[in-house]
Amino acid sequence: MDGFVRVPISEQEPKVRATNFEEVCLGYTEEEAVKEAGRCLNCKNPKCVGGCPVSINIPAFIHEVAERNFEKAYQIISESSALPAVCGRVCPQETQCEGQCIRGIKGEAVAIGKLERFVADWARENGVKPTPAAEKNGHKVAVIGSGPSGLTCAGDLAKLGYDVTIFEALQKAGGVLVYGIPEFRLPKDKVVAAEVENVKSLGVKLETNVIIGKSITIDELMEEEGFEAVFIGSGAGLPRFMGIPGEQANGVFSANEFLTRSNLMKAYEDSDTPISRGKKVVVVGGGNVAMDAARTALRLGAEVHVVYRRSEAELPARAEEVHHAKEEGIQFDLLQNPVEILTDDKGWVTGVRVIKMELGEPDESGRRRPVEVEGSEYDIDCDTVIMSLGTSPNPLISSTTEGLEVNRRGCIVAEEKDGETSKAAVYAGGDAVTGAATVILAMGAGKAAAKGIDEYFQNK
């Protein structure tokens, strides 16, 4: 091995995986992991750590992998991350840790994400758990939402000795890890449930089916149930639609609905919850959620087109997801935008009228603004349209919590460094604060808030 190229990872063949919901990436074997770990230069000033939102000591854990001390590698990762098996699978490593790797200058970056995944999977298979706090400090903290930010915040606080309870609105813990990200990217029982169990093994309590703001308010949690501090990690919220004619037709779904039916409700396994198995599906949008929806529709038997208004270079989805989607046979209809959903006389979708776009001057996001090409409309036949256009914040908590400031867009206002909100002893992080973002950024915010909450108690 010349050191410039990473150890290749095995994946299910595209043609095979396009028809099943098994995980796409099969992960490194022990030998492969040790070999890949050997590529790490163990830099004195490791740039990769700076690229990690939760600052995992990357060279240290990779060194232990190279030495075959997998349990030690796991404990090093656990010091910083509550969900390594998740992050190893869904983090955009290419723009974070791996994007900073010195190896990446002249060759391929060390496969940090794949190594993290290997270590976490090894720990799970060998029954290794994170280490709980030596003693409890007796302070009660409520965590709202069991998604990536909530689980991270809860895990970190529990390790510091806090008495933490997570409140989850849905019937299962995991938030977007359960309802949003599909099985073939993130196995639910094997990986997510196991990570949740790990957090619980630190002493964290979990109560499902509680909707904060409805079942009980934040003020009631603090006044009636004795919680001294609260972390809000309630996630993104209401799906956006385009506001074009025909959008209420039968066969138009939000990506949230489509994915929730498939992932949380297990409709792909033919559970009691129905799902629309379209013959030809148009997914509108170009983010990771759009890729998840497209690849799910494909596996349910459809021909799938992704319609995105900018060009390939601007696709917000991770490169790996786009690559996988293409391999599986998803077609990308780029530089076009729907203007109308076409329907039959009974109100069912028959197609989408799109207009071609070209790229103009850069807009405030720095990406070139798509401009309609006049008179270029044409129709795409389809029976299902999935709108994946992002979300706007859910007002359930902000509207029922006195003194909690939200910004113009309805997101909770919180300090980036410690998650502090305008309300005393209430902290927030993740999509509820930033709007829809990534799992690891939410985890970073959960981590920062745990530190903020701990400092709040120290100074009290």
Partner 1 sequence: MYEIVRKEQLAANIYLMDVKAPRVTHSCLPGQFIIAIAEEDGERIPLTICDYDREKETVTIVFQPIGASTLRMTELEVGDCFHDFVGPLGQPSELCLEENLEETKKKNIVFVAGGVGTAPVYPQVKWLKEHGVDTTVIMGSRTKDLLFFVDEMEKVAGQLCVTTDDGSYGFHGMGTDQLQALVDAGQSFDHCVAIGPMIMMKFVSLLTKKLEIPTIVSMNPIMVDGTGMCGACRLVVGDEIKFACVDGPEFDGHLVDFDQAMARMQQYKTEEGRKKLAYEEGDTHHGGCGHCGGDK
Question: In the chain, what is the straight-line distance between the N-terminal and C-terminal CA atoms, in Å?
Answer: 56
- The Cα 161–Cα 182 span in angstroms is 34
Closest separation between CB of residue 214 and partner 1, Å?
6
Q: Is 236 helix (H, G, I), strand (E, B) or coil?
A: coil
Report how far apart, in Å, the C-alpha atoms of 379 and of each of 276, 309, 376 are. 22, 15, 10
Residue (119 or 252) nearer to partner 1, CB: 252
Interface positions with partner 1 (CB under 8 A)? 169-171, 179, 208-211, 214-216, 237-239, 241, 248, 250-251, 253-254, 256-257, 260-261, 264-266, 271-276, 346-347, 394-396
Residue (54 or 196) nearer to partner 1, CB: 196
Residue (210 or 359) nearer to partner 1, CB: 210
Note the residue count of the chain: 460
Closest separation between CB of residue 386 and partner 1, Å?
11
Closest separation between CB of residue 212 and partner 1, Å?
10
Residue (137 or 209) nearer to partner 1, CB: 209
Closest separation between CB of residue 345 and partner 1, Å?
10
Residue (123 or 293) nearer to partner 1, CB: 293
Q: Is 210 exposed, middle or buried (0-12, 13-18, 19+ CB in 10 A)?
A: middle
Residue (57 or 250) nearer to partner 1, CB: 250
Residue (62 or 281) nearer to partner 1, CB: 281
Residue (84 or 235) nearer to partner 1, CB: 235
Closest separation between CB of residue 62 and partner 1, Å?
38
Which long-range contacts link 240-244 to residues 24+ away (Cβ below 8 Å)?
Answer: 240/387, 240/389, 240/390, 240/391, 240/392, 241/387, 241/389, 242/284, 242/338, 242/387, 242/389, 244/338, 244/339, 244/340, 244/341
In terms of Cα–Cα distance, which of 192, 205, 174, 185 is closest to 124? 192
Residue (41 or 238) nearer to partner 1, CB: 238
Which residues, including other chains, have CB under 8 Å from residue 352's CB and lie 6 or more apart?
282, 284, 307, 338, 340, 341, 342, 379, 380, 382, 385
Conformation bin of residue 244: beta by default, left when phi > 0, alpha when psi is -120 to 50: beta
Q: Is 244 helix (H, G, I), strand (E, B) or coil?
A: coil
- The Cα 236–Cα 393 span in angstroms is 5
Pairing of strands 237-239, 229-232: unpaired
Closest separation between CB of residue 398 and partner 1, Å?
12
Closest separation between CB of residue 288 and partner 1, Å?
17
Closest separation between CB of residue 256 and partner 1, Å?
5
Closest separation between CB of residue 225 and partner 1, Å?
11
Q: Is 313 exposed, middle or buried (0-12, 13-18, 19+ CB in 10 A)?
A: exposed
Residue (37 or 252) nearer to partner 1, CB: 252
Which long-range contacts link 156-160 to residues 24+ away (Cβ below 8 Å)?
Answer: 156/82, 156/446, 156/447, 156/450, 156/451, 157/231, 157/450, 157/453, 157/454, 158/132, 158/133, 158/199, 158/202, 158/203, 158/204, 159/130, 159/131, 159/132, 159/133, 159/202, 160/133, 160/450, 160/454
Closest separation between CB of residue 84 and partner 1, Å?
27
- The Cα 460–Cα 454 span in angstroms is 10
Closest separation between CB of residue 258 and partner 1, Å?
9
Both tokens of 175, joined, read: 């938030």
Residue (10 or 215) nearer to partner 1, CB: 215
Closest separation between CB of residue 266 and partner 1, Å?
5
Residue (81 or 391) nearer to partner 1, CB: 391
In terms of Cα–Cα distance, which of 93, 90, 120 is closest to 108? 93
Angle in degrees, 0-180, between the axes of helices 288-299 and 319-328, rounded to the nearest 10: 20
